Structure 1
Amino acid sequence: MSSTSVGMGSSGPTFDPFDNTPELIPLRTAAQAGDWSAVRACFAGLDSVDKVSSASAVLADLAGVETFLEKAAADLPGDPLPRTLLAERYIRIGWDIRSGARAQHVSRDQFGQFHAWLRKAEQLLIEVCAEQPGYAPAWTARLLTARGLELGQAEARRRYDRLAAHHPHHYRAQTQLLQQLCPKWGGSWDAAHGFARECARDAPDGANAGALVALAHIEHWLDLESPERAAYLRGLPVRDDLRFAAQVSVLNAGHRPDWNTLGAHSAFAFAFSIGGHFAEAAPHFAFLGDRASEFPWQYTQDPKSAFLKFRESALGADHR
């Protein structure tokens, strides 16, 4: 998609995953109807573990689906899918109660309910992983429970390593471990940046993994106080790091767009724009058009306005 194909006067973007990935609409329809057979058929039609994990996350955001998932999990005790989807839903319920605030702004009651939901999810996931040691959707969900239950860096890394032994470039799992490795969850910037670069380096050319470099820089930027925050993403070393990561991932000739590509381009568009590197942001906005992933745009006060302002700066001027 070229920059000329983007409607600069449009009312976009949409952050809705069903608008951005229409293939998921039948899953939403089936889930809202409480039709387990149709939900199962949707998952059976997915051709990659990454798609299964992405669909699991989207399904978990639909209010009330736990009712029919609980019945499916009870009716099909040998099937890992309903238990994993139910666990994902329990995690989402818990995280909604906790909110996205830093720990000092979360009440004791919120933490209590949050941990209770995560423990329910963890029990389901322990069973699934014991029965199916290579089942990536369950191990990915266990990265969220490890973080929320504060099980520590070593345990989170152990879980990731178990998954990576079977699926070494699983993007959603990588983004979840990256969060764990940030200082806000007990990690360090050396660990977070090191993991992001390791993923980008080891992935096949054209994989989404390079976007982890952008996500690590975004998290680092967010953690800084002024004036360091204002200067961080503007720095040339960070810009060059982002440039290289983009070139080996979503801008590489070998890249094949998939359900995670939108999030990867969003990460680069966001990081380059916050840093004022609009020429570098331009190809990412050209791909995105009127679509974007909610993360990391949620880190701005008004995601839609921020997206439109930055897109105009990137595509509305000649950077040559």
Structure 2
Amino acid sequence: MPPTVDPAFGDGTTALLLRQAEAGDWAGLRAGLTAVEDPADLTWLLATVSNTGGIEEWIPKAVAEEPDSALPLLLSGARQIAWAWEARTGARSQHVSEEQWKVFGERLDVAEEQLFEVAEREPDWLAPWYFLQISGRGASVGPEAARYRFEAAVRRSPGHLASHKQRLQQLCAKWGGSHEQMHAFARSSMLAAPAGSPLGELVALGHLEHWLDLPSGADHAYLTSPDVLAELHEALARSILHPDYRRPRDWKSAYNTFAMLFAMVGEKWTARPLFEAIDGTVTKSPWQYLNGDDPAEAYTRLRDRCAR
């Protein structure tokens, strides 16, 4: 059976939550989410579940029926963000219609209102501040507000990889930052964290974002330059290959990232064991950058190339 994109990242608990969300089984979904004690784990599960179409149809009822619980309101806010981006699509801004922008903004407004209410009611929670980074970027809240949201998240969970990923996006050139800001943030975050931290993936993602911004030819030359290769190897060694690294629930995401980059630069010997660890679990990101219509095809093509 050929590899396919797995929205659950090969994790059984996540797969069950996705099925419950799709079926509108709030009781089952709530029980599963409530059982998660780690704030970073819960945030990742909520982010994954929020991509399920149809949640916006039944979650308002759950919010109304549980006025004293912030959890349904949190899921609702997260879903509004994902739903907003569905309306906007991944097209360049000049190709987004006026009606799409209108719907995008309306849904982000709802998300912001709901998430700020959750943050006020549950001041220790990480999740609302993680999602507010995404809604804020879409709403163009400005650099000071964007930094405040990131700092609020990492105060509650220092070293939170997902929040650092959102900050990296905020600092990308395409969102008003620069390559220099993005790389500096990625590297300083990695070096400030203990060896074995997952933050090493930020360096890889930064180089991937830089590669995306370059014309054909220059992009490959950039990735294969000695300085970039050295930084990729350093990041790999300090993160997922370090003896102190502990695999989180979404660990295959980082493995997919590093496997793709090392396959692209032709280092089969480095990419091959990463592909073997992934064992056919394809994550949409970053493979959609090579084939937006069929990320699994890009994964299979590069995996097979590295196996030879």
Classify the TM-score, shorter chain: over 0.9
- The separation in 1 between residues aligned to 2:247 and 2:212, in whole angstroms, is 28
Deviates more, 1:17-26 or 1:124-133: 17-26
- Tell me the equivalent position of 2:157: 167
**Cα shift readout 1:47-82 (whole Å, capped 9, x = no counterpart):** 312221111112111111123321122222332211
Count of matched residue pairs: 306
Task: After TM superposition, give the deviation of residue 148 of structure 1 in Å.
Answer: 0.5
Match of 2:84 among 75, 78, 94: 94
Q: What is aligned with 2:270?
A: 280
> Equivalent residue for 1:68?
58
Give 5+ residue unaligned stretches, structure 1. Answer: 1-9
Deviating more after overlay: 23-32 vs 129-138 = 23-32
- Name the amino acid aligned to 2:302: F
Instruction: Verify the 8 A CA contact 1:232 1:275 in the aligned structure 2.
Output: no
Q: Distance in 1 between matches of 2:273 and 2:189?
A: 22
Q: Which ranges of 4 or more aligned residues in structure 1 deviate by more than 6 Å?
A: none
Name the structure 1 match of 2:29. Answer: 39
What is the CA–CA distance in structure 1 between the aligned matches of 2:19 and 2:270, rounded to whole Å? Answer: 39
Question: Cα offset for 1:154?
Answer: 2.1
Gap change, CA 1:19 and 1:156, over 3 Å in 2: closer
Q: Specify the alignment match of 1:11 in structure 2.
A: 2
Matched residue type, 2:60: E
Query: In the TM superposition, what is the alpha-carbon distance from 1:211 to its structure 2 partner?
Result: 0.8
Equivalent residues of 1:53, 1:137 under 8 A apart = yes
Task: Give the CA deviation at 1:100.
Answer: 0.9
Amino acid at match of 1:215: L
Distance 1:196 1:61, change over 3 A: same
Q: Percent identity between the aligned chains?
A: 35
The correspondence for 1:229, drawn from 219, 226, 236, is 219
**What does residue 315 of structure 1 align with?**
307
**Residue 7 of structure 1: aligned partner:** none
Q: Say whether 1:192 aligns with 2:153.
A: no
TM-score by length of 2: 0.94
1:123 aligns with 2:113: yes
CA contact (8 A) 2:9 2:253 kept: no
Residues 165 and 231 (structure 1 numbering): CA distance in 2 closer, same or farther, change over 3 Å?
Answer: same
Residue 214 (str. 1) matches residue 224 (str. 2): no
Contact in 2 for aligned 1:140/1:160 (Cα 8 Å): yes
Q: 1:303 aligns with which of 282, 295, 302?
A: 295
Q: Is this contact kept in 1: 2:5–2:295, CA < 8 A?
A: no
**1:280-301: CA deviation from partner (whole Å, max 9, x where unpaired):** 2222212112012111111112
- Asked if 1 retains the 8 angstrom alpha-carbon contact of 2:40 and 2:157, the reply is no
Contact 1:211 1:265 in 2 (8 A): no
- TM-score by length of structure 1 reads 0.91
Q: In 2, distance between residues paired with 1:246 and 1:283?
A: 12
Structure 1 counterpart of 2:254 = 264
Cα distance in 1, alignment partners of residues 8 and 118 from structure 2: 28
Kept in 2, the 8 Å contact 1:178–1:195? The answer is yes
Cα drift, residue 252 of structure 1:
0.7
Residue by residue, what CA displacement relative to the aligned partner does 1:185-213 show, whole Å, maximum 9, x if unpaired? Answer: 11111111111112212223222211111
Post-superposition Cα deviations, 1:261-281, rounded to whole Å, max 9, x if no partner, equal: 111111111122222222222
What is aligned with 1:5? none
1:129-156 per-position Cα deviation (integer Å, ceiling 9, x unaligned): 1222331111011011111001122211
Residue aligning to 2:233? 243
Q: Which moved more, 1:217-226 or 1:251-260?
A: 251-260
Find the aligned partners of 1:66 and 1:100 in 2 and give their Cα distance. 20
- How far apart in 2 are the matches of 1:36 and 1:304? 31
**Whole-Å Cα distance in 2 between the matches of residues 314 and 129 of structure 1?**
46
Amino acid at match of 2:305: S
The one-letter code sitting in structure 2 at the alignment partner of 1:83 is L
| Structure 1 residues 45 and 204: alpha-carbon distance in aligned structure 2, compared to 1, 3 A threshold | farther
Q: Which amino acid aligns with 2:14?
A: L
Structure 1's 244 and 19: CA in aligned 2 closer, same or farther, altered over 3 A?
A: closer
The superposition leaves residues 72-100 of structure 1 with CA deviations (integer Å, 9 ceiling, x where unpaired) of: 22222332211111011111111011011
Following superposition, the deviation at residue 19 of structure 1 comes to 6.2
Aligned to 1:296, the other structure's residue is in SS state helix
Check whether the contact 1:152–1:186 (CA below 8 A) recurs between aligned residues. Answer: no
Task: Return the alpha-carbon distance in structure 1 between the equivalents of residues 268 and 227 of structure 2.
Answer: 16
Greater CA drift, 139-148 or 51-60: 51-60
